[in-house]
A and B are shown apart, each in its own frame.
Chain A
Amino acid sequence: MTNLSHVMSADDHKKVIEQNENVMICCGRMGPMCIPVYGAMEELESEYQNIKFYDMEFDTPDARVIRNAPECNGFMGLPFVVYYKNGKIVHASSSILSKDQIKSVLDKHFQ
């Protein structure tokens, strides 16, 4: 379990992206490619207070809201990382990310 806030269901997901302007969700497992991304997000939370950071369990059926998003079409590597602005996906990526790679996306879309 990470120290991030968790998206537990599709309803939860809807509320999170509707009620917050800038949202980053890492949808994965507690595996080797996902853990470093969660760790980087935990560190970025204090640095980017205008953004809400969440995780979501990839294997929960409700994670279809991310797994089946058109922006995630072709993704074949964990984690699926999705960035929302005003409820709309502005960027999505598949597989491990460094903190610097995440920051470049946050700076581009949420500044």
Chain B
Amino acid sequence: MLYDVIIIGGGPAGLTAGIYTSRSKLKTLILDQGMPGGQLILTHEIANYPGAESLSGYMLASKMLQQAKSFGCEVKSNAKIKDLHLQGSIKKISLENGDVFESKSIIIATGGISREIGASNEKELKGRGVSYCATCDGDFFQDKNIIAVGGGNSALEEAVSLTKYASSVTIVHMLDNFQAFDYAVKEAKENPKINFVMESRITKFIGNERLEAVEIEHIPTGEKREQKIDGVFVFIGYVPNTKFLEGKVALNERGEIKVTRDLETNIEGVFAAGDSIEKKYRQVTIATGEGTIAALSAAEFVHRN
């Protein structure tokens, strides 16, 4: 099946691109490795999306998906990519289930995936004391002592929100300063339930049925100590979901896709948008804007060729 545009990734960038290209009567397919929505689905509340005062990430993603489909955009979820041929005038994408799709242009919008600490026993204790979502799991930690890992806005804001439940929240951060905005740092520092362990990282999660303790390393000295703890919330950001693109398109040292101002990659007819590209700020509004640019660039490319 030959498409005008295949969009890899169904987050806000990919769905916006799908809305634009399908509305332009370009035959469009969105392939998503899981459920369309991307990181939006993992966001409890969006309060800064213009025109929508406050709604859940799931609702916003559902509206975008519905809008794309209403213009004729095809969407295939749980599409695991096996191979990509991006060179030449016809691009080819093979899925693990044997499906093969061809397209005149490609938009890569694979977004980011939550970074894990990588300490031993982390996966085994996920949902048993190790969590990545304060709004989901915070109330399991009523009157408990917990750790929040990270130094960005998410870590500090979520640490403050977790004090609604926990009796104490210890922020563990690798650096000696925070990357978060001043207001978030101030709010955390003024909260009497919050204390700080700087220049440190968790090296081991300890427990069987449930998390019981962590091993914390003080990075400058290498000194390790064990601390009893009821829960650990991890907020250390995202990594670009571009592993499968290595050797296919140009990536920077962080694995982000290099793009031009029109969001074209180093491969003709292959564009990229959203959190997988090289940039400073990552916000849903930026992703939708980039989805628009990538769609317009792809449409121009298809019409020109």
Please give the residue numbers on chain A whose beta carbons come within 8 Å of chain B beta carbons, in ascending order.
29-36, 39-40, 43, 73-78, 93-95, 98-99
Report the minimum CB–CB distance from B37 to chain A (whole Å): 8
28 inter-chain pairs at a CB distance below 8 angstroms, sorted by A residue, are: A30-B58, A31-B135, A31-B136, A32-B43, A32-B58, A32-B133, A32-B136, A33-B42, A36-B41, A40-B34, A40-B35, A40-B78, A43-B77, A43-B78, A74-B128, A76-B128, A76-B129, A76-B137, A76-B140, A76-B231, A77-B128, A77-B136, A78-B136, A78-B137, A94-B127, A95-B126, A95-B127, A95-B137
Q: Measured between alpha carbons, how far is A32 from B137 in the docked complex, in Å?
A: 10
What DSSP secondary structure best describes chain A's contact surface?
A: loop
Contacts A35-B35, A95-B126 known; list 17 others, CB within 8 Å.
A30-B58, A31-B133, A32-B133, A33-B133, A36-B35, A40-B78, A43-B78, A74-B129, A74-B209, A75-B127, A76-B129, A76-B141, A76-B210, A77-B127, A77-B128, A77-B137, A95-B127
Nearest residue, chain B, Cβ from A30? B58
**Which residues of the other chain, A, contact B43 by a CB distance below 8 angstroms?**
32
In the bound assembly, the distance between CA atoms of A23 and B140 in angstroms comes to: 26
Q: Residues of B contacting A43 with CB < 8 Å?
A: 77-78
Asked if B131 is at the interface (CB within 8 A of a chain A CB), the reply is: yes
Q: Residue of A at shortest CB range from B128?
A: A74
Give Cα A81 to B56, complex, Å.
23
Which chain A residues lie closer than 8 Å to B57 at the CB level? 32
* In the complex, number of A-B residue pairs with CB atoms less than 8 Å apart: 75
> Known contacts being A43-B78, A76-B140, A76-B210, is A32 close to B131, with CB within 8 Å?
no
B44 is an interface residue with CB less than 8 A from chain A = yes
Which chain B residues border A30 with CB–CB below 8 Å? 56, 58
User: Do B128 and A32 have beta carbons less than 8 Å apart?
Assistant: no
CA distance A30 to B55 in the complex (A): 13
| A95 surroundings in chain B (CB, below 8 A) | 126-127, 131, 137
Query: Do the beta carbons of A31 and B210 come within 8 Å of each other?
Result: no
Flag B129-148 by CB within 8 Å of A: 1 or 0 each: 11111011100110000000
Known: A39-B35, A95-B126. A34 touches B136 (CB 8 A): yes
Q: CB-CB < 8 A to A75: which residues of B?
A: 127-128
Q: Give the residue name and chain of the A residue nearest to B42 (CB).
A: A32
Q: Which residues of chain B come closer than 8 Å to A73, judged between CB atoms?
A: 209
| Distance between Cα atoms of A103 and B128 in the complex (Å) | 21
Give Cα distance in the complex from A43 to B58, angstroms.
17
Contact B128 A94 (CB under 8 A): yes
CA A77 – CA B210 in complex, angstroms?
Answer: 11
Q: Which of B57, B129, B133, B136 has the most CB of A within 10 A?
A: B136
Contacts of A78 in B (CB 8 A): 136-137
Residues in B neighbouring A93, C-beta threshold 8 A:
127
Given contacts A32-B57, A36-B34, contact A77 B126 (CB under 8 A): yes
Q: Which 4 A-B pairs have the closest CB atoms?
A: A94-B127, A95-B127, A77-B127, A74-B209
- Among A29, A75, A77, A78, max chain B CB count under 10 A is at A77
Contacts of B210 in A (CB 8 A): 74, 76
Partner of B127, one of A31, A76, A98, A99: A76
Contacts of B58 in A (CB 8 A): 30, 32, 35
B186 → A minimal CB distance (Å): 27
Q: Provide the B193-235 mask, 1 if CB < 8 A to any CB of A, else 0.
A: 0000000000000000111000000000000000000010000
What residues on A are CB-neighbors of B35 within 8 Å? 35-36, 39-40
The smallest beta-carbon distance between B279 and chain A, in angstroms, is: 24
- The smallest beta-carbon distance between A47 and chain B, in angstroms, is 10
A98: B residues at CB distance < 8 A: 34
Task: Mark out the residues of chain B between 225 and 270 whose CB falls within 8 Å of any chain A CB in the assembled complex.
Answer: 231
Q: How far, in Å, is B106 (CB) from chain A's closest CB?
A: 24
Pick from A35, A43, A98 the residue with the most CB of B within 10 Å. A35
